[in-house]
Structure 1
Amino acid sequence: MTTTPTIDSVPTTDAAAAPEDARVRNSDGAPARSDGAPDPAKPGRPAGKFLLSKVFRAVKVAVWRSAAIVLFLLAWELVPQFLLGEDTRVFLPPLHDVLLALRDAITTGELWEHLSASLTRSVAGFSIAVTAGITLGLALSWYRGLASFLTPLLELFRNTAALALLPVFVLLLGIGETSKITIVAYASFFPVLLNTIAGATTVDPLLIRAARSLGLSQLRLFQKVILPSAVPTIFTGIRMGGTASILVLIAAEMVGAKAGLGFQIVNAQSSFLIPQMYAGILTVSLLGLAVNVGLVRLEAHFSRWRTFAPTR
C-alpha cells in the first residue's frame, strides 16, 4: 500500500532550509536577492564605496600627471637661488620673481593690453583658417578632379614655412594688423586642411555601403555618415592649427608690432627687464594650454555620438 505524499513529507531544498545567516550575501554583507541583484535595503553603502574609490583614483591620476610640472616649478625656484651665481641669476631669476612681475603686469593693466591684442589677431586668423580649411578639405575629398588639380599647388605651399613668408606679407599687406592676421591664417590653415581630407577619405567603407543600401542620397550620405565620422580627425587638425596660431603670432609680433605678447617679450628683453620677459613667456604657455583645453572640450561636445557599446 502506497502512501500519498503530504506537504510535510516533501523534502525541503537547501536554500529554503538554510538559516538566514547562511544565505548568499553581497560584498557589503547585505543578503542578496534571489535573482542575484543586490538587496536594495542598503543602497547607500555600495554606492558610497564606489564613489570614494572613483574619487581616489581621480586624485591619484591628477597627482601623477602634475608631478612633472610641480618638479619643474620647484627646480625653477630653487636652482637659481642655490646653484647659480649672482651674475647668472640675473638671466634666470627664480620663479617667485617672475610671478611678482606677472602680478604687477596684471594689476597695472599692461598684461591685458598685450593679451587682448594677441587674442584679437589669433582669433581672427584662426577663424579664417578653420572656415577655409574645413570647406576646402571637404570639397577636395568629395571631388577627385578638384583634388588632383589643386594638390600640387597645396603641397608647394604646405612645405613653405609660415615665418619665411612674413617679409612677403609685410611687403604686400603692410606692417599693420592685416599682415599678422594673414600669417596666422596661413600657419593654421594647412593642419586643418590636411586633417579634414584625411578624416573624410578614411571613413569605414562598410558604413558607406550600408548607407547606400538604405537609399541615402549623396547629400544625405555626406551629412549623416562622412561628416560625423570625420569630426574627430578634423578636430585634431583644429587643435594643431590653434597651437600654430599662437606660436606663429608671437613670432610675428616680435617684428614690427606695438602691442601683443610677442612685442612685450622682446621689449622686456631689450630693456633688460628679465623677470618681465619670463612673465610674458609664462603667459604665452598658459594661453596655449587654455586654447588646447578649450578645443578638447569642444571636440568632446561635437563627438558625443561616439559612444561605446555597453559591456555584458
Structure 2
Amino acid sequence: MAKIVFEEVTKTFPTKDKKNKEQCTALDGIDLEIEAGEFVVVVGPSGCGKSTLLDLLGGLSRPTSGRILLDGKPITGPGLDRGIVFQQYALLPWRTALGNVEFGLEATGVPRRARKSRAREFLELVGLTGFEDRHPHELSGGMRQRVAIAVPLGLLIGWYRPVAVLLGPLLEVFRNTAALALLPVFVLLLGIGETSKVSIVVYACVWPVLLNTISAVGNADPTLVGLARSMDLSTPRLFQKVILPSSVPAVFTGIRLAGAVSILVLVAAEMIGAKAGLGYLINASQYNFAIPQMYAGIVTISAIGVAFNQLLVTVERRLSTWRVPA
C-alpha cells in the first residue's frame, strides 16, 4: 500500500456572506497516492487549494468528506510523524536559531544535552553553523527559511472562545465603570482607611492588564500556533512555549498602563477618602496654604511614577530581548 493515500477528499469552507449560504469548495474529490521515498510537487495557480491540501495532510484541518491515510491509518490530527514548513517564516522570535530547531525535539521529549547536539547537526546541514545564537530578526530571509526547514527536521479567556463570549459583556460593563465612581461604594463597604484605598487601586489596575492579556492571547500569530500544533503539543505546552512568550510585550504594556492608573487612583482616593498619604498631604496643604509641602507632594508623586515605569521597562527588556529594536 502507498505511504500516503487521499481517497475522494473534499474540503469546503463557509462563505462570509450571511445571505449566501453556499459553501466555497477548495478541494473536490481528490484521489492521490504517494509511495514511500517518492518526491512530489503540487503545482497550481493561486487559490487552487495547494495549502489546503497540505493543511489536511498535516492534520491542521479535517476534510469535509473522504479520508487521508498515512501508512494505512487515517490522519485525525497533527503528529510528529509529519514535518511542515509554512509559507510564512514560522519561527519563534524569542528563540535563537538553535532554540527554534530544538523546539521540535522538545516536543518529542529529547533530553536537553542530546537535543542541543542534534540541533547543531541540523543547522550545519542547512549551512548555518556560526549563526546558532542569532534571533530570527538578525537573520536574512534565506537564513530564516533555512531555519524553518531545519525545525521540522529537528522535530484562558483570549484562547477559549466560549469563555470570552460568556464573560465579554460583563467585562465591558466593569471596564467602562470608572474606578473613582465606585470609590463611595468601597468606602461604604470597607470604611475610610487603607483597606478601601488598596481595594480601589487593585480594582483599577486589573482592567488594563486583563484586557491587554486577553488581546495578546487571542491575537497570537496563527502561523506560530499552527507550528506548535503540527508538533502535536498539548494545550498547556502550547501556552508555555508559544502563547505566553509571544504575549509578554502586550502584557507589560498593560502592566505599565496599570501602574500609571494606580498612582492616579491612589492619589485621588487619598484626597477623597483617606486620612494619610500623598494625596491627603496635597489636599491638606492646599487648604492650609502650605504651598511648599503641596509642591513637594506633587514632585514626589511624579518621581514615583517615573521610577516605577522605568523599573517595568527594564524588566520588560530583560524578558523580551528577542524583540526587533525600534
TM-score tier, shorter chain, comes to: 0.5 to 0.7
Match of 2:246 in 1: 229
Q: After the TM superposition, which residues 162-311 of structure 1 pair with which residues of structure 2 at under 5 Å, given as runs?
A: 162-306=179-323
Question: Do the aligned partners of 2:158 and 2:216 also contact (CA within 8 Å) in 1?
Answer: no
Match of 2:146 in 1: none
Q: How many residues align?
A: 170
Cα deviations across residues 263-283 of structure 1 (Å, max 9, x unaligned)? Answer: 110111111011211111111
The SS at the match of 1:141 is coil
Cα deviations across residues 15-55 of structure 1 (Å, max 9, x unaligned)? Answer: xxxxxxxxxxxxxxxxxxxxxxxxxxxxxxxxxxxxxxxxx
Name the amino acid aligned to 1:177: E
The SS at the match of 2:177 is coil
The SS at the match of 1:282 is helix
Cα deviations across residues 110-140 of structure 1 (Å, max 9, x unaligned)? Answer: xxxxxxxxxxxxxxxxxxxxxxxxxxxxx21
Cα deviations across residues 141-186 of structure 1 (Å, max 9, x unaligned)? Answer: 1222111111111101111111010001100111121111111011
Question: Do the aligned partners of 2:197 and 2:274 also contact (CA within 8 Å) in 1?
Answer: no
Match of 1:152 in 2: 169
Paired with 2:181 and 2:296, the residues of 1 have a C-alpha distance of: 27
Paired with 1:217 and 1:200, the residues of 2 have a C-alpha distance of: 16
Cα deviations across residues 83-103 of structure 1 (Å, max 9, x unaligned)? Answer: xxxxxxxxxxxxxxxxxxxxx
Query: How does the TM-score come out when normalised to structure 2?
Result: 0.51
* Runs of 4+ displaced beyond 3 Å: 305-308
Query: How does the TM-score come out when normalised to structure 1?
Result: 0.53
Name the amino acid aligned to 2:265: V
Q: After the TM superposition, which residues 89-168 of structure 1 pair with which residues of structure 2 at under 5 Å, given as runs?
A: 139-168=156-185
Name the amino acid aligned to 1:263: Y
Q: After the TM superposition, which residues 13-92 of structure 1 pair with which residues of structure 2 at under 5 Å, given as runs?
A: none
Cα deviations across residues 48-107 of structure 1 (Å, max 9, x unaligned)? Answer: xxxxxxxxxxxxxxxxxxxxxxxxxxxxxxxxxxxxxxxxxxxxxxxxxxxxxxxxxxxx
Offset, 1:257: 1.8
Offset, 1:258: 2.1
Offset, 1:303: 1.1
Offset, 1:215: 2.2
Name the amino acid aligned to 2:253: T
Match of 2:66 in 1: none
Deviates more, 1:294-303 or 1:209-218: 209-218
Offset, 1:210: 1.0
The SS at the match of 1:291 is helix
The SS at the match of 1:140 is coil
Structure holding more strand per residue: 2
Paired with 1:201 and 1:153, the residues of 2 have a C-alpha distance of: 18
Match of 1:64 in 2: none
Q: Which runs of 5+ in 1 are unaligned?
A: 1-138
Paired with 1:256 and 1:204, the residues of 2 have a C-alpha distance of: 45
Structure of higher RCO (CA pairs closer than 8 Å, 6+ residues apart): 1
Structure holding more helix per residue: 1
Paired with 1:306 and 1:272, the residues of 2 have a C-alpha distance of: 50
Q: What is the identity percentage for the equivalent residue pairs of Structure 1 and Structure 2?
A: 64
In our comparison, the structure showing a higher alpha carbon Rg is 1
The SS at the match of 1:255 is helix
Paired with 2:222 and 2:299, the residues of 1 have a C-alpha distance of: 46
Paired with 1:216 and 1:276, the residues of 2 have a C-alpha distance of: 59
Offset, 1:307: 5.9
Name the amino acid aligned to 1:162: A
Paired with 1:180 and 1:157, the residues of 2 have a C-alpha distance of: 18
